[in-house]
A = this chain, B = another copy of it.
Amino acid sequence: MQKRATAEDVARAAGVSRATVSRAFTPSAYVAEKTRAKIKEAADKLGYRRNALARALIKNESDLVAIVTGQIKNMYDARVFDALTSRLQESQKWGLLVHANDDEVDRLLNEAMSYPVQAVIVRSGSVDAKTIAQCGRLGVPLILTGTEYSEFEADSVCCDNALGARMAVETLVQRGAKRIAYLGGAPNLYSDMSRFKGFSEAMEQYGLTPAFIARGDFTFESGLEIGKKMLSGPDRPDAVFCCNDAMAIGMLNAASKFAGLSVPDDVAVIGFDDIPMAAWPCFELTTISNPVEPTVNAICEVLEHRLEFPESPRQTVRIKPKLMRRLTA
């Protein structure tokens, strides 16, 4: 493993000084075109690349952004992640990946902070007060997405979950549902809390009480298992609001393959997110769209704004959900 060529090596090869090499790689700097060409050639020959570490050190700004993500269990997470990293790269930022389960977020984020990142984007999971304080101490902006904590000094971008849940209940009520069930995720997650809140409010508004309240883990499998139980009894619900599409599709399977019920006539099902799979002919899932593109755009805008105006007041961007009416409700 030979060593990386340094600016010194290139300088020697091109017969110039280290400073001139640096200038040759700085588009705005004054260098004779001829010199620049000579240096680039030498650099090419040596396989020289500016060392981003040394560069960041002296310029006191790296182009790293930490991206904290939990386990990617479903296509919604995958799509957000995909779009986000892709967009960051377009703005010349590199994503430093912090893959953490909810209970490790703090430890890992703290470790990652030894890299002087421009910002930390937290997708899912929860981040505790101490960690947020740490980010503040290091002058690192924190952007939460998929969660929202009013107590803390952090920007956030999040679907208006409560509104989405209310839209779902409304849709179910309008088609005559009386016994509506709720299928959520772990109740310490913001996405469960906020959707449950919207669900409860809407139910109350219509004078209904939930037929069931169950919580899975946002996977197909949990939707299927809970669905099997929930739909088998005589007191089964006539509609189910599921907190994400994966669980909704599990519920669909439970209904048709196990409970022998037809959807939506026996039981209506509505999901949340609108992953591509929801539109597949075999599912045609009615769902609340949690649009990826606007979310990622908002994250990037908030980020740019924060970097430009570090002292500006914190922002909370709520993304509007949208009803995607298909065949299951």
Q: Which residues of A are at the interface with B, using a C-beta cutoff of 8 A? A: 1-5, 46-47, 49-57, 62, 64, 67, 71-72, 75, 77-79, 81-82, 85-86, 89, 94-99, 108, 110, 112-116, 133-134, 137-139, 220-221, 224, 249, 252-253, 256-258, 276-277, 280-282, 310-311
Contacts and interface: CB of A to CB of B under 8 A. Distances in A.
A96 B82 CA distance: 14
Contacts of A257: 281-282
Contacts of A110: 49
Q: Taking the full assembly, how many copies of this chain does it contain?
A: 2
A97 B67 contact: yes
Given A78-B78, A115-B52, A115-B53, A97 B97 contact: yes
Contact of A139 (B2, B75, B256, B276): B2
Nearest to A133: B47
A224 B283 CA distance: 14
Contact of A94 (B46, B49, B112): B112
A322 B230 CA distance: 35
Contacts of A280: 220, 224, 249, 253
B50 A114 contact: yes
